[in-house]
Structure 1
Amino acid sequence: MPDTQHDAPYVQRGPVTLRVLGTSVTLLESIRERAREDLGLRLEFTVMDGVAAQRAGVLAPDSFEIYDQWFHNVDFVWPAGAIQPIELSRLEHWESINDLPKTGRLTPHAPRGAGGNPVDRLYVQPDGSCGPRPTEHITMLPVSHNVDSFGYRLDMLPEGLSDAEESWAWLLDPRWRGMVSLQNDSAIGAIDAALAAQAAGLVTFEDLGNLSVNDIDTLIDCLITLKGKQHFRTFWSNQDQASSDMVRGRVGIESLWSPAMTALKQRQIKVRMAAPREGYRAWYGGMSLSRGVTGRTLDAAYDYMNWWLSGWPGAVMARQGYYISTPELTRPHLTTAEWDFWYAGKPAAEELAGPSGPCGMIHKGEVRDGGDYLTRMSRIAVWNTVMDEHNYLVRRWNDFMSA
């Protein structure tokens, strides 16, 4: 008599589909294709700008399995209940992640920086809040990070600044009038503007990472006055616009991110990313799990997060100018010349490839602006952050944009 317990046909389960919500910083087609090959997953990337991704992360957690954005966004998605705790026991490379996101600094004597330091929202606390005390669960897996400042065209540098020490004050210096662009996102553009205003001696803030209502009013009133004098040429919303304005010569100095620098160098524009004496504005990206992901899909999500820190993706990030939280696992996936340039701060020993592949983006002998990894990530003035008066800042920033 047949074994009725075993004579039913075997049902082949198809690959899991993993939906990832995030920005163009990490949701690259090369990443999607390689992860699909290595993990056997169907991957759907939803790429939005930072503000739209943040809104979808809070309001539509059922539309994704992995939320890939920045640590300061934890301040929105965690209180909203949009994400679930990540179990450290399921992270294969947790011990290889360096001290920066775990303690708030790379070395004991480095400044922690004002604002949204990742460690302050990393660990899930026993009462369900997030904070710096280590536990067995985290809110977001630390992944890519960098420091940002401003870039400027060397051939448009005003007389008198060529020998001056780089400062955030340059963004508001009258000698750059009509050639300045800022990032138009209030959460980031306002920090750049605040760094510039304080460096220029126009205002003094008690806490650069958490401006009061009076601080915000003083800053915005100052910016509106400058706008009335045609100090600002444009306000960019994406990196293509930022690089295009500088290529066309409409802008000589602007808030700038690493991929835009890449695009400018590929166009043979002589541009430098400043290492301001006041320090950098820093950001830290990571991945969180949607509150609703379970079962095989949850297993696949952990596989994807573990894969991200295993080495190869970190090399892709390096060629964009970004760092990874597990640099020693990435090192074997970079050539010696690439590692020496991107991480060690040494002159490029040969022509180096950019994120799209062909050599020539980095020329032989070129040195990365700001130096090596330790130096750059130990000079953080402020982290991207969500201020207590965030809603008021957004309203006043919109006043500035529409003035």
Structure 2
Amino acid sequence: MHPSKVELRVLGTSVTLQEHIRKRAEQDLGIKLRFVVQDGGSVQRDGVMHPDRYELYDQWFHSIDCLWPTHALQPIELSRIRRWDEVNALPRTGRLSKAQPAGGAGCVPADRLFVQADGTLARKPSERISMLPLTHNADSFVYLPDSMPASLVEGEESWAWLLAPELAGRVALQADAAIGAIDAALAVEASGLMRFRDIGNLEIEEIDGLIGTLIEFKRRGHFAGFWSSFAEAAQLMIANKVVIQSIWSPATVELERAGLKFRLARPREGYRAWFGGIGISRLAHGRVLDAAYEYLNWWLEGWAGATMARQGFYISNPKQSRAQMSDAEWAYWYDGARASAELPGPTSKHLVPVGQVRDGGGYVARMSRIAVWDSVMDEHNYLVRRWTEFMRS
């Protein structure tokens, strides 16, 4: 076999499909990788409709609710995942330990992990899984404390800040319907404007109420922008267009580089969490399928998890990554300790200055405060239609 002749097309977003990762994986595995980078909605759509256009689907666990019923992906055989026993309890059970509360509403990854005998998905362990759980994080919003009114900054951080009247014209949300709507719903509920029965699965009337509220805010000029990628999010703040916005962790790397003094919120209501993973197209077979499994295994070998940590993400088998990180890095990114040395970014020598503390604390503290997981709601199509109206209003 000449593995150099095998090409894998990986469909996903800029969250994990990054050039330095592609180069390293090609070098380590001796295969050719083509990263097909799109926004979240396009990845889901192509994932469902065109399994012939990719071998690997690198996206979020809530996407499984779209892909699994269409048979776009094939089950992953755990016998071929060498470090499966190292994957921690969070994606398997919904919490890191039995002592912690089961986390959050929405699409809990554990409920979509194991393939059952009848082909459905559940958390009852089996020998096959839907996607290999890998990167994950607890997201919130970022703000510039020096530009915020004292009346807010002196209080406890809350999702309600995204709708605070005193910040009108200086707020941004993310444009993805599935994720942006949850951020918006958290803000609307925290502001006391509406109550939702299940914030991870809104009903039609609740969607109408949410979108109606957001359109009112938009018409009053409350929102300064909407972003589709973490680079766009960072640019909105660097260009001084916004002082507060929902955020993905890699954008904070860009804010660090730009020298901005910002805070990543630890909202009193809890975080919006996500879990990323990789699935295999049902059309992958033979040598291509063998190479796909090698790529999945490579993600659990340590290097990928360490580079993910340097942009603020966690990996499902963190102990393997610890060997690829300095003690100072591990203490900062995973334990929530003050940086005892200057720490590198994913591709730069200098990112975190000495003495800095990561907002939100360590891994356990962050992933134990989940208000809701990213979701594909029962009324997803209706939500997307109404969200598009909001975007165009």
TM-score of the aligned structures, taking structure 2 as reference length: 0.98
Q: Deviations over 1:158-179 (max 9, x none)?
A: 1312211000000011111111
Q: How far off is 1:382 after superposition? A: 0.3
Coordinate RMSD, CA, aligned: 1.2
Counterpart Cα distance in 1 of 2:4 and 2:321 = 31
SS of the residue corresponding to residue 375 of structure 1 reads helix
Please give the alpha-carbon distance, in whole angstroms, between the structure 1 residues aligned to 2:111 and 2:241: 40
Alignment match, 1:222: 213
Q: Give the conservation status (yes or no) of the 8 Å contact 1:68–1:287.
A: yes
Number of the residue aligned with 2:25: 35
Which structure 2 residues correspond to residues 122-141 of structure 1 after superposition, within 5 A? 122-141=113-132
Question: For each residue in 1:204-245, what CA deviation from the matched residue of structure 2 results, as whole angstroms up to 9, or x when unmatched?
Answer: 011111111111111111111111211111111222221111
1:14 shift after superposition: 5.2
Following TM superposition, the consecutive aligned residue runs of length 4 or more in structure 1 with deviations greater than 6 angstroms are: none
**Match among 375, 378, 381 for residue 368 of structure 2:** 378
Whole-angstrom CA distance in 2 between matches of 1:93 and 1:219: 43
- Correspondence 1:89 to 2:61: no
2:317 alignment partner, one of 302, 326, 333: 326
- CA deviations on 1:174-200 (whole Å, 9 max, x unpaired) are 111111111011101100000001011
Q: Is the radius of gyration larger for structure 1 or structure 2?
A: 1
Partner of 1:71: 61
Return the alpha-carbon distance in structure 1 between the equivalents of residues 4 and 246 of structure 2: 46
C-alpha distance after superposition, 1:369-398 (max 9, x if no partner): 100000000100000000011111111111
* Distance in 1 of aligned mates of 2:183 and 2:263: 17
Match of 1:5 in 2: none
Task: Name structure 1 gaps, 5 residues minimum.
Answer: 1-10
| Contact 1:107–1:378 (CA under 8 A) maintained in structure 2 | no
Distance 1:326 1:211 in 2: 33
Q: What is the percentage of aligned positions where both structures have the same residue?
A: 55
Structure 1 residues 13 and 323: alpha-carbon distance in aligned structure 2, compared to 1, 3 A threshold: closer
What is the match of residue 266 of structure 1? 257
Count residues with an aligned counterpart: 392
Report deviation, 1:112: 2.1
Displacement of 1:250 in angstroms is 1.1
Match of 2:39 in 1: 49
For the Cα contact (< 8 Å) 1:212–1:389, is it kept in 2? yes
Contact 2:238 2:255 in 1 (8 A): yes
- Other-structure match for 2:106: 115
> Do the aligned residues in 1 keep the contact of 2:4 with 2:30 (CA within 8 Å)?
no
Which residue number corresponds to residue 399 of structure 1? Answer: 389
Distance 1:48 1:139 in 2: 22
Structure 1 residues 229 and 295, CA, compared in 2 at 3 Å: closer, same or farther? same
Given residue 369 of structure 2, which amino acid in structure 1 is its aligned partner?
Answer: R
- Would the aligned equivalents of 2:59 and 2:277 in 1 still touch at CA under 8 Å? yes
User: Is 1:345 aligned with 2:341?
Assistant: no
Which structure 2 residue ranges, 5 or more long, are not aligned?
A: none
**Structure 2: how far apart are the matches of 1:78 and 1:238?**
25
Q: d(CA) in 1 for partners of 2:3 and 2:238?
A: 51
CA distance in 2, matches of 1:252, 1:111: 33
Return the letter of the residue paired with 1:297.
V
Aligned partners of 2:234, 2:324: CA distance in 1, in Å? 29
1:342-391 per-residue CA deviation (whole Å, 9 max, x = no partner) reads 001000001111112221x2111111110000000010000000001111
Look up the equivalent residue of 2:378 and give its one-letter code: D
- For the pair 1:193 / 2:184, whether they are aligned, the reply is yes
Shift of 1:126: 1.2
In structure 2, do the counterparts of structure 1 residues 14 and 392 end up closer, same or farther at CA, with 3 Å as the change threshold? closer
Residue 15 of structure 1: how far off its partner (Å): 3.2
Q: How far apart, in 2, do the equivalents of 1:374 and 1:390 lie? A: 31
The one-letter code sitting in structure 1 at the alignment partner of 2:238 is V
Q: Does 1:253 align with 2:235?
A: no
The 5 A counterparts of 1:115-194 are 115-194=106-185
Output the CA distance in 2 between the equivalents of 1:35 and 1:162. Answer: 43
1: CA distance, partners of 2:325 / 2:229:
28
Do the aligned residues in 2 keep the contact of 1:182 with 1:236 (CA within 8 Å)? yes
Q: What is the Cα deviation at residue 12 of structure 1?
A: 6.5
Secondary structure of residue in 2 paired with 1:357:
coil
Alpha-carbon contact 2:3-2:31 (below 8 Å) kept: no
Q: Matched residue of 2:150: which SS?
A: coil
* CA drift at 1:32: 1.3
Which AA in structure 2 matches 1:245? Answer: L
The answer as to 2:266 corresponding to 1:275 is yes
Aligned-partner residue type, residue 110 of structure 1: P
**What letter corresponds to residue 335 of structure 2 in structure 1?**
A
- Offset from partner CA, 1:24-46 (integer Å, 9 cap, x none): 11111111111111111111111
Deviation at 1:13, TM superposition (A): 7.4
